[in-house]
Amino acid sequence: MEEILSVKNIRKSYGDITVLDDVSLNVSTGEVVVIVGPSGCGKSTFLRCLNGLEEIQEGQVILDGKVIDTEKDDLFSIRERIGMVFQSYELFPHLSVMQNLLLAPVKVKKRNKKEAEAQAQELLERVGLLSKKDSFPRQLSGGQKQRVAIIRALMMHPEILLLDEITAALDPEMVREVLEVVLDLAKEGRTMIIVTHELAFARAVADRMIFIDGGKIVEEGTPEEFFDDPKTDRLKRFLHSFLYED
Ligand code: ADP
Ligand code: MG
pTM passes above 0.85? yes
Domain residue extents for the chain? 3-242
**From the CA of 187, how far away is ligand 1's center (Å)?**
32
- Tell me the per-residue pLDDT of 76-125, one tens digit each, with 9 for 90 and over: 889 999 999 999 988 999 999 999 999 999 988 899 999 999 999 999 99
Ligand 1 pocket test, candidate residues 11, 45, 166, most atoms within 8 A of CB: 45
Q: At what angle do helices 142-154 and 172-187 cross, to 10 degrees?
A: 20
User: What is the rounded distance in angstroms from the CA atom of residue 171 to the CA atom of residue 10?
Assistant: 35
CA 28 to the chain's CA centroid: 15
CATH number of 3-242: 3.40.50.300
Helix (H) or strand (E) segment spanning residue 58 = strand 58-63
Query: Which atom of ligand 1 lies at the shortest distance from residue 39's CA?
Result: 4
pLDDT for residue 70 = 85
pLDDT for residue 246 = 54
**From the CA of 201, how far away is ligand 1's center (Å)?**
24
pLDDT for residue 56 = 95
